[in-house]
Structure 1
């Protein structure tokens, strides 16, 4: 029975190859473990957590009334100098929306006066 290979012989002859393959798998897994160690820990404390601290007051934006006033007066001066609507429809729609809102940054009486003058200029230009 020289040419016959028994079951035990086959298992024994493949064992080194299996061990080598398993070793490769273990090496690959350790490689991935090393790569993942560069990632942050999901359960570690977040160094930016204080950015979302609810105890901090929310910053409030306050426009500079002088800058707002100057911009509104420029828009109003452009309307006053024109004999027909000086803006394309898209910009006109923008000014109709934004002008009254920007005026909210000014004292009430001044804001009301500028809104009134802007509406009067628009009415004049649309009638032309």
Structure 2
């Protein structure tokens, strides 16, 4: 299973995170795919996701925090499903000495996602 974190905006206007995994063999309706690299020791203060997107972490480790104090750490080989495009958002801080290399896959959230929450195992 591929570990995944789902970031969504709740009815309270804040970002919330769920831990889980990606379901197998689900087709995607993809809008764009892009690649990015960020230098080690970088951070990004409070922001929302620019689009509904899968963020596939290739290298680097990041610690995320939401305004409500929810936290998680994204490692290489894991996926962030960023759907908190409104509200108070989240911030991240890189850990370690590796650059953050990732793939952004922008998708249509109306078509559904292949996320299985941890408690549904």
TM-score tier, shorter chain, comes to under 0.3
TM-score normalised by the chain length of structure 1: 0.20
Select the structure with the greater relative contact order (CA < 8 A; seq sep ≥ 6).
2
The structure that is helix-richer by fraction is: 1
Q: TM-score, normalised by structure 2?
A: 0.21
Which protein is bigger by CA-based radius of gyration? 1
Larger strand percent: 2
